[in-house]
Structure 1
Amino acid sequence: MANENSIVAIHRTPFNRRSDVDKKKLKEMGPDRPDLKLEQISTDRGRTYKRSFSSSLYANRSWLAGCAVSNAFFCFPCLLFQCTGTEILWTTTGMRDLKHFTQKCKKHESSRCHLTNSMKLSLFGRLSIAEQLDEGYRIGIRKHNEEVRKNRHILSRIIDCIKFCGAFELALRGHDESESSDNPGIFRGLVDVVASLDGALKDHLDSATVFKGTSKTVQNELLDCMLAVVREKIISEIQSSDFLSIQADETTDISTQTQLVLVLRYLNGANLEERFFEFIPLQSATAATIAMALKERLAAILPGEQKVKLICQAYDGASVMRGTSSGVQKRIQDDYPTAHYIHCYAHQLNLIMQQATSHIVKVKNFFSDLGGLAAFFSRLPTASNVRWNFHSRAVNTVFEHRDDLIDCFERIRASDGFDDKTSHEAGGHIRLLEDPDFNFFLKLFHRIMPHVDILYAKLQNRNIDSVYINRCIQQFQEDIQKIRDSVHAMVVEHRSGSEQPRKRRAIDQDELKRIATEVCDTILGHTKERFAFKDHLISATLLDSPQFDHYLDAFPEVALATTLKAYPVLDGSRLKTELTLIYGSEEFRTCRGAVDLYQLFKDNNLSEVFSETETLLKIIITTPMATAEAERCFSTLKRVKTFLRNTMTQDRLNALAMLSMEKRLVTDMIDFNQKVIERFAGLKERRAKFLYK
């Protein structure tokens, strides 16, 4: 159990939330100074220096404390009092840079914030005898704290209302927020509903003159504080994880502002997390601008020696992102060498289907005709070159309701209630739906598209890894190969049951077979090429359970060597020994992917036995195979920043988007409201009292 003066205990129960007795006890105990497991290797002028922790580092610095959990140094007075402007390096993240230790200590102990916090610590608890005996002083303290308790309760209710609006993407402000307005907005209406159930809040709203808490300024300040609290939580989770991946994509919002979304993927204990972090406004969508914006955020998330945690960067495959000489991925990898690039596999699947359906004229015409049907009926799913599940829906709708569509078009032709153009188009669609060649392609793609949909849906899942996806891709290839093998039978069956078209020249049987085979071959060829596991992704093949029997006979030396080159953090000899043991054990062959195997290690306390394999599993699981979460963020962006809210500031947009996308994280933080209140109280001097004495 941690000591009361340990960094962990102080983070868990901040100084300002403790009783006076506990505060005095903590001051008497002084800073905790455990031995830290810190080592740092650096090179200077061709010579290598190794620095490690020494207890002498605590000497001559009474303010210095250490944390054995995070292996970092902290400032004891700043950690306790945290006046406005205090560096988070010495209170939250901790200082681990041994090379610049003396320099950073001198800079910090000369800062105004450190001196202020040190003075507060020295004077804390030193009351004169007269003050201690003064009953009026004690009564004043009690009154002050009672007022603070009431103000905190009121502010907590207001925070709950903002959280509700943010979680459900509701507009906070109304057309007219005056007291007599009939349309004050959802936030004001929600506050009034809560006040009807909370007498203290109702009395406050009726009588408040100094601080009411419902103004736009207070809303924005509270939103800023909420955003900061959630980001601090995310950063703390990342710092306790071993690896991090980023996903980024850009779009244009309703106000034509280019927005770059940053999503962070990491393991938080046994849970895989994909967290929205920020929408970043861009002046231009060039590689240099995007890379600079990402580097600025990464510097705050992964300071100093933590750069090695970034193992992957995933983008949509646009040339500005994937360029190998000056693209974003190359610029990021220059600063983060282990940040390997992933071209989003969902976009890869789109490109595969685009290639299969656009370079063959007959197939291209089929989808053009299908689009004409969709245009005739506004509710029929429209075919799209970006979202191929819409292609599937259009194919399935026409295939399953062909007879109904023909009947509908015939009724339109026979009716007098439609204009000549509509009647003419209906006649064309009847001939199209009765055309044997159109129906053949309709049947062909009705068989192909469900397999595309299944793979696409799997790629949208958050909890996927490259091992699992590799098996899904293999299954997809097998399914398409079966369709290819059945093309001849499909053509024969189709020709035998079809009537000859009236006006269109029918495609002969051999030509239909050739086109259908070419479609399947194109899908298979591009799938094999685009989804091939090369470079760092080959590491996933080491843990592909269907290959374990083969690996027992011939160990995958090439894959292991490639993996060790991509991830130098791994111990090659131990990893090979562990993998050999796994290949020969029946218990591990039922695992469907890296997530299952990692969970098996955790459930059976095998982490120490298979330490290097677990590290490899963490790398594989942390590596995203798609940027689906970034696309989900764009959906939220469109709901939050609408036409009627197109002048929303960037900070407000990020805060509302964070409350929406990370609502579960906010709910799980039990002390979220109190942290927001403390940050809100520290923003500036306020006439209303929110801090206890």
Structure 2
Amino acid sequence: MRGATAGVQKKIQDVYPNAHYIHCYAHQLNLIMQQATSHITKVRIFFSNLSGFSSFFSRSSKRTSVLDKVVAHRLPASSNVRWNFHSRAINTVFEHREDLIRCFESIQDSGDFDPITIREAGAFAMLLEDQDFKFFLQLFHHIMPHVDLLYAKLQKKVIDSVCIQESIQQFQQDIQKIRNSLHSMVGQSSVGSSQPVKKRRTLSVEDHERIAAEVCDIILGHTRERFSFTNHLVSATLLQGDRFEQYNTAFPEDALSNTLKAYPVLNRGKLKTELTLIYSKEEFKACCGAVGLLQLFMENNLEEVFSETVTLLKILITTPMTTAEAERCFSTLKRIKTFLRNSMTQDRLNALAMLSMEKRLVTEMTDFNKNVIEKFAGQKERRAKFMFK
């Protein structure tokens, strides 16, 4: 797809030279986190150990029953394709670490499990007490919420390049704050050790701070590299509401030149006149993103007055920043229609796929489960008596 010499990108640009290729930004974020967690040995080991918790319990319903009884919370599985799965696993282990230790100890002491299970439970209990594991758990407990927030913004259907630039800049600022506060974070993780540090740690405090700084630097470096803006995205800076006051003082000639290189169809003189007027008006400064600015023009019948700006806004809005949603549809179908469920009808497959893809929408509907049960129970007479019937 992205091949610059013989890929689909090249074939399209041979016919339409002004077409712009944009790598899916949600996928780019996943690649950034993979780079940050795979190049450092200790961090790679941490995530390998983290994924072992969910697999330990998923292999046995007997183990899961102990988990439900002691911890009362399931451990989500990790996924390299969607990093919010890692975030859920990190948050769960971080918040229930003491409960998980008691769970593994109860498995060891119960006498109802085989030697392999007892040995693995003991290893996981020791891992949760390990100072290196606890430090990396705390580090990524601080980092992952910012990754989740950016990932959620990149998945919005109404996202545009203006909002993306603001979101990425905020993400970089948040990671930089974590980078600057590493010394205090490392100091907190070393408090509470009753034994000397060297006996409790495989890494020193300085090593922890160095590795954490390297993780943050990799994230920041790859964010700047992978989210480098083309002329298409640079043109979005012309319409960032938080910069209108700055542009009213000094007009962004460079951004305008890059915009005209990307879209020669635009009239330079008319576009500059329209933008100068937009930058000077207070009512335009409150608009959030290209969508909000275009809606303001439409509501007040200003399309003809700002014709060149409206053309640029429509280009920015209709260019997709992310394509992960379409890929997740195929992943959903692969999970639903398995070898054991290969005989389901097309209507049932469509319904199950829609419920899975639009899970967030379903959870926000009031009394959804109750309405489904009542509809199912009222379809026809059955031998079983339904309590909602």
TM-score computed with the length of structure 1 as normaliser: 0.46
Residue 646 of structure 1 and its aligned partner are, at CA, apart by 6.2
The equivalent position to 1:538 in structure 2, one of 221, 234, 241, is: 234
The equivalent position to 1:337 in structure 2, one of 5, 10, 17, is: 17
1:567 aligned to 2:247? no
The one-character-per-residue Cα deviations of 1:428-475 (angstroms, maximum 9, x if unpaired) are 111110111110110010010011001111111111100011111111
Residue 647 of structure 1 and its aligned partner are, at CA, apart by 9.6
Distance 1:489 1:458 in 2: 30
Distance 2:110 2:335 in 1: 42
Residue 528 of structure 1 and its aligned partner are, at CA, apart by 1.3
State the AA in 2 paired with 1:350. N
State the AA in 2 paired with 1:563. T
Distance 1:548 1:463 in 2: 22
The equivalent position to 1:490 in structure 2, one of 182, 185, 193, is: 185
Three-state SS of the structure 2 residue aligned to 1:343 is coil
Residue 636 of structure 1 and its aligned partner are, at CA, apart by 5.8
The equivalent position to 2:100 in structure 1, one of 401, 405, 410, is: 405
- 8 Å contact 2:234–2:258 — kept in the other structure? yes
The equivalent position to 1:626 in structure 2, one of 313, 322, 331, is: 322
Three-state SS of the structure 2 residue aligned to 1:341 is coil
- Tell me the residue number matched to 1:433: 128
Distance 2:155 2:76 in 1: 20
Based on CA coordinates, which of the two structures has the bigger radius of gyration? 1
State the AA in 2 paired with 1:335. V
- Tell me the residue number matched to 1:584: 280
Distance 2:269 2:207 in 1: 56
- Tell me the residue number matched to 1:347: 27
CA distance 1:385–1:537, shift in 2 (3 Å)? same
Three-state SS of the structure 1 residue aligned to 2:146 is helix
CA distance 1:498–1:570, shift in 2 (3 Å)? farther
1:424 aligned to 2:129? no
The one-character-per-residue Cα deviations of 1:512-543 (angstroms, maximum 9, x if unpaired) are 11111111111111111111222222111111
State the AA in 2 paired with 1:516. A
Distance 1:499 1:645 in 2: 55
RMSD over aligned Cα, in angstroms?
A: 2.7
Distance 1:565 1:433 in 2: 56
The equivalent position to 1:381 in structure 2, one of 73, 76, 79, is: 76
The equivalent position to 2:36 in structure 1, one of 328, 331, 356, is: 356
Gaps of 5+ in 1: 1-320, 664-693
Gaps of 5+ in 2: 59-73, 359-389
Residue 547 of structure 1 and its aligned partner are, at CA, apart by 1.6
- 8 Å contact 1:640–1:656 — kept in the other structure? no
Q: Which aligned pairs between 1:628-647 and structure 2 lie closer than 5 A?
A: 628-635=324-331, 637-638=333-334, 643=339
State the AA in 1 paired with 2:281. S
| Count of residue pairs brought into register by the alignment | 339
State the AA in 2 paired with 1:510. E
State the AA in 1 paired with 2:34. Q
State the AA in 2 paired with 1:322. R
1:459 aligned to 2:154? yes
Q: Which aligned pairs between 1:137-536 and structure 2 lie closer than 5 A?
A: 321-378=1-58, 380-500=75-195, 505-536=201-232
- Tell me the residue number matched to 2:361: none
Distance 1:620 1:357 in 2: 33
Distance 2:279 2:226 in 1: 28
Distance 1:515 1:639 in 2: 37
- 8 Å contact 1:436–1:499 — kept in the other structure? no
State the AA in 2 paired with 1:488. H
Distance 2:329 2:49 in 1: 33
Residue 498 of structure 1 and its aligned partner are, at CA, apart by 3.2
- 8 Å contact 1:455–1:476 — kept in the other structure? yes
- 8 Å contact 2:198–2:204 — kept in the other structure? no
Residue 567 of structure 1 and its aligned partner are, at CA, apart by 1.3
Distance 1:402 1:438 in 2: 11
Residue 544 of structure 1 and its aligned partner are, at CA, apart by 1.1
Three-state SS of the structure 1 residue aligned to 2:22 is strand
Distance 1:330 1:448 in 2: 37
Distance 1:365 1:468 in 2: 36
- 8 Å contact 1:462–1:629 — kept in the other structure? no
Distance 2:11 2:219 in 1: 32
